[in-house]
């Protein structure tokens, strides 16, 4: 079984730093199911190819395993496992290219988040769903796909095609993305997994599917096949993906945003919020700031306008929102010095993400109420325990104030996608609990015109450590 990965982004030999494998050396690794070899058939600055060759020992696989003494079925000895891409390849990717799969490069950290011109070839992949299924898995991820079917036996063409294909992918992606796609989709294509599928497979699927699986049109089939048709696990995985799945929301989000904006317009609440957040970020002296759930990038624009913010990162789970942001900020035409200060990334606040580490401050403007209550705990850990910026500025609606919006029926939220809205008491209790658990101090401040009884329309918490 052979996988080759080629880049033609100059200097192509950087691939060696990303894979943590020296292009000048061939290396071999012992794995539980056989041997893996890594070598570079070509390594020039224009074009560099890394090859991962797996030698699977089908007899070693069954020897000594419970049940292997019984029956001696022939397919233990004669099977396709040594020749095709299967879940063994995923295991090999995780073990041999683990840092690259996690999006890290020890020697050249900036490389890991750089999109490269990549090509991948899988010499043989079984796919019972045929070419159409193969394409439906990889094309939505932005690859140019070419597929070569193999006949069952070239000497007997009348027998027709086999279930085996050679697959070639081409696209401009981060290496980490390509490896994650292969890690999840190769076992899906093979539709049989060599090891027992348990709860931790759900975690693996969600971890390696992060940022792309939730929006994939075939996500149901992918989860079902990846989890070997275990219905309970599949339901769990899909319900946890929904949280990231903004497809439905996307079609209506502009409408809803207008509805919320209309409601809040009279008091120009959005301007109040941006002003208040920028003022806090200046006051605490933050130089690097991330705007998490940046939406269309209104805060990013204000941050870029102020040179004290040297490094600005915008993250959102929604591709559409990021496209809007990049349009509105005129990213294409932005001068290089300005562009160098800004990074826009797709990601979800409910999964740990290394890219969020090392910032002075994080802003989350009207985002927390979009998270599923069941995922708040994960979000708290991602932000306050892993990303751990020195300051967090977070705003959310004050539900006590909703009675002041004449057109909002009692008990309804300001926006259809809000999963909850906190009263002042609820918000304070949440903020204080999170702060004390994670070792932060917290202040709560009103934003917008304050009413003597119901308070201000927006509430803001400033966490510091």
- For ligand SAH, the binding residues (CB under 6 A) are 244, 246, 293-295, 298, 316-318, 321, 348-350, 365-367, 370-371
Contacts of 421 (CB under 8 A, 6+ apart): 369, 396, 397, 398, 399, 402, 413, 414
DSSP state of 422: B
Q: Are strands 441-447 and 458-464 parallel, antiparallel or unpaired?
A: antiparallel
Please identify, using beta-carbon distances, which residue of 210 and 400 lies nearer to ligand SAH: 210
Please identify, using beta-carbon distances, which residue of 48 and 299 lies nearer to ligand SAH: 299
Q: What are φ and ψ of residue 285, in 5° steps?
A: 75, 30
Q: How far is the CB of 388 from ligand SAH (least distance, A)?
A: 17
Contacts of 11 (CB under 8 A, 6+ apart): 45
Please identify, using beta-carbon distances, which residue of 171 and 295 lies nearer to ligand SAH: 295
Please identify, using beta-carbon distances, which residue of 31 and 249 lies nearer to ligand SAH: 249
Please identify, using beta-carbon distances, which residue of 179 and 378 lies nearer to ligand SAH: 378
Please identify, using beta-carbon distances, which residue of 118 and 342 lies nearer to ligand SAH: 342
Please identify, using beta-carbon distances, which residue of 4 and 395 lies nearer to ligand SAH: 395
Contacts of 264 (CB under 8 A, 6+ apart): 270, 405, 414, 457
Q: How far is the CB of 281 from ligand SAH (least distance, A)?
A: 14
Q: How far is the CB of 139 from ligand SAH (least distance, A)?
A: 24
Please identify, using beta-carbon distances, which residue of 190 and 296 lies nearer to ligand SAH: 296
Which region holds residue 456: left if phi is over 0, alpha if psi is between -120 and 50, else beta? beta
Residue nearest to ligand SAH (CB): 295
Q: How far is residue 333's CA from residue 453's CA, in Å, rounded to a whole number? A: 48
CB 36 within 8 A of CB 55: yes
Q: How far is the CB of 107 from ligand SAH (least distance, A)?
A: 30
Q: How far is the CB of 323 from ligand SAH (least distance, A)?
A: 12
CB 262 within 8 A of CB 414: no
Please identify, using beta-carbon distances, which residue of 49 and 350 lies nearer to ligand SAH: 350
Q: How far is the CB of 290 from ligand SAH (least distance, A)?
A: 11
Q: Are strands 361-365 and 288-292 parallel, antiparallel or unpaired?
A: parallel
Q: How far is the CB of 109 from ligand SAH (least distance, A)?
A: 23
CB 6 within 8 A of CB 178: no
Q: How far is the CB of 111 from ligand SAH (least distance, A)?
A: 25
CB 342 within 8 A of CB 310: no
Q: How far is residue 220's CA from residue 235's CA, in Å, rounded to a whole number? A: 9
Q: How far is residue 58's CA from residue 439's CA, in Å, rounded to a whole number? A: 52
Please identify, using beta-carbon distances, which residue of 180 and 318 lies nearer to ligand SAH: 318
Q: How far is the CB of 371 from ligand SAH (least distance, A)?
A: 6
Instruction: Calculate ∠ Cα 383-371-365, nearest 5°.
Output: 65
Give yes or no for a cis peptide into 236 (omega within 30° of 0): no
Distances (CA, A) of 298 to 202, 295, 301, 320, 332: 36, 8, 5, 15, 17
Q: How far is the CB of 75 from ligand SAH (least distance, A)?
A: 45
Q: What are φ and ψ of residue 357, in 5° steps?
A: -90, 150
């Amino acid at each position: 079984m052979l996988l080759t990965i080629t880049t033609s982004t100059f200097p192509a030999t950087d691939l060696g730093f990303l894979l943590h494998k020296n292009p000048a050396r061939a290396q071999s690794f012992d794995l539980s199911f056989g041997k893996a070899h890594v070598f570079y058939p070509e390594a020039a600055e224009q074009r560099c190819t890394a090859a991962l060759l797996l030698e699977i020992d089908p007899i070693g696989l069954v020897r000594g395993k419970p049940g292997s003494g019984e029956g001696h079925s022939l397919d233990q000895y004669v099977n396709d496992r040594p020749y095709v891409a299967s879940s063994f390849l995923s295991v090999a990717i995780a073990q041999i290219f683990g840092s690259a799969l996690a999006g890290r490069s020890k020697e050249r950290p900036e490389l890991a988040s750089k999109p490269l011109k990549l090509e991948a070839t899988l010499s043989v992949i079984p796919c019972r769903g045929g070419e159409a299924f193969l394409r439906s898995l990889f094309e939505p991820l932005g690859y140019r796909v070419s597929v070569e079917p193999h006949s069952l036996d070239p000497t007997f063409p009348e027998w027709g095609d086999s279930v085996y294909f050679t697959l070639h992918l081409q696209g401009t992606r981060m290496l980490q993305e390509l490896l994650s796609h292969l890690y999840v989709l190769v076992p899906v294509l093979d539709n049989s997994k060599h090891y027992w599928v348990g709860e931790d497979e759900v975690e693996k699927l969600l971890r390696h599917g992060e940022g792309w699986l939730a929006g994939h049109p075939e996500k149901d089939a992918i989860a079902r096949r990846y989890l070997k048709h275990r219905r309970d696990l599949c339901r769990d995985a899909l319900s946890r993906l929904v949280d990231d799945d903004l497809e439905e929301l996307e079609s209506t989000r502009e409408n809803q945003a207008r509805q919320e904006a209309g409601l809040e317009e009279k008091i120009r609440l959005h301007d109040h919020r941006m002003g208040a957040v920028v003022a806090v970020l200046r006051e605490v002296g933050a130089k690097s700031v991330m705007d998490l759930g940046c939406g269309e990038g209104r805060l990013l624009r204000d941050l870029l306008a102020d040179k004290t913010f040297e490094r600005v990162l915008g993250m959102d789970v929604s591709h559409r929102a990021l496209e809007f942001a990049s349009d509105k900020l005129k990213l294409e035409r932005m001068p290089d010095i300005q562009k160098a200060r800004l990074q826009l990334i797709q990601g979800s606040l409910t999964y740990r993400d290394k890219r969020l580490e090392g910032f002075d401050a994080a802003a989350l403007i009207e985002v927390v109420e979009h998270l599923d209550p069941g995922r708040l705990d994960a979000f708290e850990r991602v932000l306050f325990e892993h990303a751990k910026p020195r300051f967090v500025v977070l705003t959310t609606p004050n539900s006590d104030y909703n009675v002041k919006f004449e057109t909002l029926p009692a008990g309804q939220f300001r926006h259809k996608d809000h999963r909850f809205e906190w009263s002042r008491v609820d918000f304070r209790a949440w903020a204080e609990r999170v702060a004390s658990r994670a070792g932060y101090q917290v202040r709560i401040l009103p934003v917008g015109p304050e009413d003597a009884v119901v308070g201000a329309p927006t509430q803001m918490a400033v966490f510091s450590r």
